[in-house]
Amino acid sequence: MSISQTHNARASAGSAVLSGVRKLAKSFAVILTTLLGLLVLTFVIGRMVPADPVIAVIGDQADQATYDRVHEQMGLDRPLYVQFATYLGNVARLDFGQSNVTKNAVSSDLARVFPATLELATIATLIGAIFGIPLGIISAVRKGTWVDHLARVVGLLGHSTPIFWLGTIVILIFYAKFGLIPGSGRIDVFNEGLVEGPTNSLLVDAVIAGEWGVFFDVLHHVMAPALILGYAAMAYLSRMSRSFMLEQLRQEYILTAKAKGLGQRTIIWRHAFRNIRVQLLTIVALAYCGLLDGTVLIETVFAWPGLGQYLTSALFFADMNAVLGSVLLIGIISIAINLLSDIVYRFLDPRTR
């Protein structure tokens, strides 16, 4: 290799590294800006709601002197920019304040309830993706046939049926009448306390502890609400998958592949499906984020002790520390999922690198 070629290779490598550093810095700046905007939003919401945080702590029967003392202790007498700086410092230490309902730190409450929602949303997303994506692809391939019509009807019902109504019907039929599913909650009473682990996810901790009876008990409890949420996710994923696949099947490279004599299975899964993987990853990530912050109704119906039920209780009792901590956690998780999906994009689609 000549000196000029070596110089050009080094310059090209340096330019690639510099470009990668710039993209990383840009992504990091976008994440910080989004987080800052989320923090500002939660802070403003906490100050604009009509509920008085002092009254929520001391009750409405306290005298004025007690009210003034607690108001000063909570820092509400300080300027807003000072309150916001204090709020930022507390959030940086994962200190969301104390819940007025449970009397525990909000961070410890979130660490206790969020894994239950994570279990429910993860299983529901897997159900939706495993059944919804193939259903949408088959519907696109069989466009206009009875398979396509049936898939579209199933998707329409899943998209339009309220999940709280469907959950109530499932409980009335499969629990109250036939006894095929367990009652409300996350685990049977006689299995409570048998598994205690670092993750607070009973499924994961039961596997670590080797308590398979507890594992299958929790799995039995989670399947009904997960299937309902999974059905809603399946309806969304199948509809989007069908749309993406139909767009690919109209492309010229599909006609070329058919002209070359390639089989339908090869054309669909090796060519068309490869070109919609990034789009599918996007909608699966969106569905997952939607399930994480949209399990409020189904958790209420099934008395599932997750983030949705915790947030509902906090809203009912005007527990703003718990509400803002929950909203902030959901926002951070959504940002993390989108960041992770963006990283996966770069491996699936070289054009995004």
The per-residue pLDDT for range 237-288, each reduced to its tens digit, is 999 999 999 998 888 888 888 888 888 888 888 888 888 888 888 899 888 9
- Give pLDDT, residue 121: 92
Confidence at 328, pLDDT banded by 50, 70, 90: confident
Confidence at 226, pLDDT banded by 50, 70, 90: very high
At the fourth CATH level, the homologous superfamily of domain 107-352 is: MetI-like (1.10.3720.10)
Q: Are 321 and 97 in contact (CB under 8 A)?
A: yes
- Give pLDDT, residue 9: 52
The per-residue pLDDT for range 80-125, each reduced to its tens digit, is 888 888 888 888 888 888 887 788 888 999 998 999 999 999 999 9
- Give pLDDT, residue 135: 92
- Give pLDDT, residue 350: 62
Report the mean per-residue pLDDT for the chain. 83
Does the predicted model carry a pTM greater than 0.85? no
The three-state DSSP-derived secondary structure of the chain is CCHHHHHHHHHHHHHHHHHHHHHHHHHHHHHHHHHHHHHHHHHHHHHHCCCCHHHHHHCCCCCHHHHHHHHHHCCCCCCHHHHHHHHHHHHHCCCCCECCCCCCEHHHHHHHHHHHHHHHHHHHHHHHHHHHHHHHHHHHHCCCCHHHHHHHHHHHHHHHCCHHHHHHHHHHHHHHHCCCCCCCCCCCHHHCCCCCCCCCCHHHHHHHHCCHHHHHHHHHHHHHHHHHHHHHHHHHHHHHHHHHHHHHHCCHHHHHHHHCCCCHHHHHHHHHHHHCHHHHHHHHHHHHHHHHHCCHHHHHHCCCCCHHHHHHHHHHCCCHHHHHHHHHHHHHHHHHHHHHHHHHHHHHCHHHC
Check residues 236 and 63 and name the one with the higher pLDDT.
236
- Give pLDDT, residue 229: 92
The per-residue pLDDT for range 294-326, each reduced to its tens digit, is 778 888 888 888 888 888 888 787 787 888 888
- Give pLDDT, residue 225: 92
The per-residue pLDDT for range 201-219, each reduced to its tens digit, is 888 888 888 888 889 998 9
The per-residue pLDDT for range 121-140, each reduced to its tens digit, is 999 999 999 999 999 999 99
Confidence at 234, pLDDT banded by 50, 70, 90: very high
